[in-house]
Chain A
Amino acid sequence: MEEIIGLAPSGSMGSGYNLDAFERGIAAHPHFIGQDAGSTDMGPYYHGTGATFLPLATYRYDLAIMLRAARRARIPLIIGSALTSGANVSLKQAVDLVHDVAREDGFSFRMAVISAELDKTDLKRRLRQAPFESLGPDPLTPETLDRCGPIVAQMGVEPFIKALDAGAEVIVAGRACDDVIFAAMPIMKGYDHGLALHCGKILECAGLSAVPCDLAEPLLGRVRRDHFEVEPCHPAHRCTTVSVAGHSLYERGDPCLQPGPGGMNDLTHTVFTQVDERCVKVTGSRFVPDATYRVKLEGAEHLGFRSVVLTGIRDPYMIAALDGLFTEVRDRAEKRFRLSDKGVHLNFSVYGRNAVMGKLDPGAGVKPQEVGLLIDVVAPEQELATGVAMFVRGTLQHAAYPGIVNTAGNMAYPFSPFGLPVGPAYRFAVYHLMPLADPCECFPMTIEEVRN
């Protein structure tokens, strides 16, 4: 049958996967293995530092299984957003892991490495030509760029197609839009852009769109001329019209209009049909190209250094008095450290009350039996952050409040040490659309013949 079969081992590299199901996926003779390896989901720290979310050994474990299977079956292995932020520092780490596994197993192959990190001087030049549309943060300025860690752009299908055209058997790419990792080969072979991207959107989270839903369960996608089909590899798992349609919504703002590099995927007329108990067929998804090709930029600005103290409070009178105590201790910390002058942020989060939802919490009005208190400080220097956090905890430890019965201290520490330096703190400050003349122009590719 005329089709391109993609195998998605897991929704996130490093999550591990069901090996029996993976082997069943390989037995279906996929044309490629695709793996998403990054996201903004874990917050700005990883984009700010370029650090990986998981230890390298965890990624290596998943990589070795995929690389062995891909080489055995002689099919491309396509990895996107390596690793976490997809910046050059972590891309290099991913490439090193590929070399390491290849050496161990004696594999030889052609590898394409595609960078997604932008040169800041070039970015500033582009910014002078036309402002970039914001998708949330303040307008972008050269100063913001200077405060940021690496800036990456989400690549579209084009750089992947270029790599496949060059005969790459392994592709390791920096930041990429998740669905394009799986859409590149079908689109290269002339299949419908909208169907390929929609299938990619389902595959990028692997078994999350099946029942039971599990990110670590492999999923197969078959893109054909006028439809695609998705099916979990686990024989007891099922894709249903509702699970697949439901996943089409996942992490997307609008159910029907899903913007990506170079255009919008329109699911308004998409139809989901149950083929058999485990397989769903999808038709009608349509890609509408933008007049100007734009890519999404991502970057996180450095705010200072974070130190925290985690503690628990059981005493009911202290719990009742907390808000007043916070005001009092903030005043004392202000006098002692001049927090506002120095740009120190001091936040209290009361777990058991409203820490999780903050402003969005409608309030339950139930008195908690105990609460967890997170004292969270972000300051220009790490020492100062720890100093403020420890001053605040010391003051609260022996604070007096109405009805106090225990004068030996009213905060319980889960472990020693108390003051934890967390490291640099960041905020997403770059989440903007940048126009490109050529979809590959800021995604340089190198081809390497790996020989062992």
Chain B
Amino acid sequence: MTTTLESLAKVIRSKNAGPFELTFDIMFDDAASYERVKKSGAINVHAIAGIYRVRADDVLVCRPYDPAVAFKITIRRPVGSGDITDRDVYGCQQHVPLMKIEVP
């Protein structure tokens, strides 16, 4: 049965990694949920590019990180932090679409 990422993960967060990148951490408090997401392949470059409607080239990092029982995703910011049309200087409110990722 499929479920959403938010029902499996403990933390889903976004933040600047410097003014020109947005980085997402998806963290779990149980290894089984992490392994389930990892095995499902639901978090991949093309899924992330699709969700945020950016080019696959702009997804700079998208990988699991076992020591933290976490996934790391980094995309190029569409506009630099605090630039004229930017509306999220910290980049900390860009995580929401990840919550609804379907995990088989």
Q: Which residues of A contact B (CB under 8 A)?
A: 40-45, 135-137, 241-242, 245-246, 248-256, 267, 270-272, 303, 345, 347, 349, 355-362, 378, 425-428, 431
Name the 6 nearest CB pairs between A and B, nearest first: A136-B20, A43-B82, A245-B68, A255-B65, A43-B89, A253-B74
Identify 7 residue pairs between A and B in the complex whose beta-carbon atoms are under 8 Å apart, listed by A's number: A45-B82, A253-B17, A253-B23, A253-B61, A255-B65, A267-B67, A425-B84
**Are B17 and A252 in contact, with the CB atoms below 8 A?**
yes
**Are B53 and A360 in contact, with the CB atoms below 8 A?**
yes
**Are A254 and B72 in contact, with the CB atoms below 8 A?**
yes
**Are B83 and A246 in contact, with the CB atoms below 8 A?**
no
Query: Residue B70 at the A interface, CB < 8 A?
Result: yes
A residues in contact with B87, CB < 8 Å:
349, 355-358
Chain B min CB distance to A382 (Å)? 16
Candidates A41, A303, A360, A425; contact of B16 at CB < 8 Å: A41
> Once bound together, how far apart are the Cα atoms of A427 and B19, in whole Å?
10
> Once bound together, how far apart are the Cα atoms of A194 and B27, in whole Å?
24
Q: A40-B81, A242-B29, A246-B11 are in contact. List 16 more A-B contacts (CB 8 A).
A: A42-B90, A44-B19, A44-B80, A242-B27, A249-B23, A252-B17, A254-B72, A254-B74, A271-B67, A345-B84, A347-B84, A359-B78, A360-B97, A425-B84, A427-B84, A431-B20
**Are B65 and A253 in contact, with the CB atoms below 8 A?**
no
Chain A min CB distance to B71 (Å)? 9
User: Number of B interface residues, CB 8 Å?
Assistant: 43
Chain B min CB distance to A249 (Å)? 5
A residues in contact with B35, CB < 8 Å:
none
Q: Which residue of A lies closest to B95 (CB)?
A: A357
> Once bound together, how far apart are the Cα atoms of A135 and B17, in whole Å?
11
B residues in contact with A42, CB < 8 Å:
89-90
**Are A255 and B68 in contact, with the CB atoms below 8 A?**
yes
Chain B min CB distance to A195 (Å)? 15
A residues in contact with B84, CB < 8 Å:
303, 345, 347, 378, 425, 427
Given known A-B contacts A136-B80, A272-B67, A362-B53, A249 and B25 have beta carbons under 8 A apart:
yes
Q: Which residue of A lies closest to B19 (CB)?
A: A428
> Once bound together, how far apart are the Cα atoms of A250 and B63, in whole Å?
15
> Once bound together, how far apart are the Cα atoms of A426 and B16, in whole Å?
17
B residues in contact with A44, CB < 8 Å:
19, 80-83
Chain B min CB distance to A261 (Å)? 14
Candidates A43, A135, A267; contact of B20 at CB < 8 Å: A135
**Are A428 and B67 in contact, with the CB atoms below 8 A?**
no
Chain A min CB distance to B16 (Å)? 6
**Are A360 and B78 in contact, with the CB atoms below 8 A?**
yes
**Are B67 and A270 in contact, with the CB atoms below 8 A?**
yes
**Are A251 and B60 in contact, with the CB atoms below 8 A?**
no
> Once bound together, how far apart are the Cα atoms of A75 and B50, in whole Å?
53
B residues in contact with A242, CB < 8 Å:
27, 29, 68-70
> Once bound together, how far apart are the Cα atoms of A252 and B65, in whole Å?
13
Chain B min CB distance to A267 (Å)? 8
Candidates B21, B52, B68, B69; contact of A136 at CB < 8 Å: B21
Q: Which residue of B lies closest to A356 (CB)?
A: B93
Chain B min CB distance to A151 (Å)? 14
Given known A-B contacts A360-B94, A427-B80, A255 and B53 have beta carbons under 8 A apart:
no
A residues in contact with B68, CB < 8 Å:
242, 245-246, 248-249, 255, 272
Query: Residue B88 at the A interface, CB < 8 A?
Result: yes
> Once bound together, how far apart are the Cα atoms of A272 and B52, in whole Å?
33
B residues in contact with A378, CB < 8 Å:
84
**Are A251 and B97 in contact, with the CB atoms below 8 A?**
no
Query: Residue B38 at the A interface, CB < 8 A?
Result: no
Q: Which residue of B lies closest to A240 (CB)?
A: B29
Q: Which residue of B lies closest to A134 (CB)?
A: B20
Chain A min CB distance to B80 (Å)? 5
**Are B85 and A251 in contact, with the CB atoms below 8 A?**
no
**Are B67 and A359 in contact, with the CB atoms below 8 A?**
no
> Once bound together, how far apart are the Cα atoms of A311 and B85, in whole Å?
18
Q: Which residue of A lies closest to B68 (CB)?
A: A245
> Once bound together, how far apart are the Cα atoms of A136 and B76, in whole Å?
8
Chain B min CB distance to A251 (Å)? 5
A residues in contact with B18, CB < 8 Å:
40, 135-136, 251, 253, 431
Chain A min CB distance to B94 (Å)? 6
**Are B67 and A251 in contact, with the CB atoms below 8 A?**
no
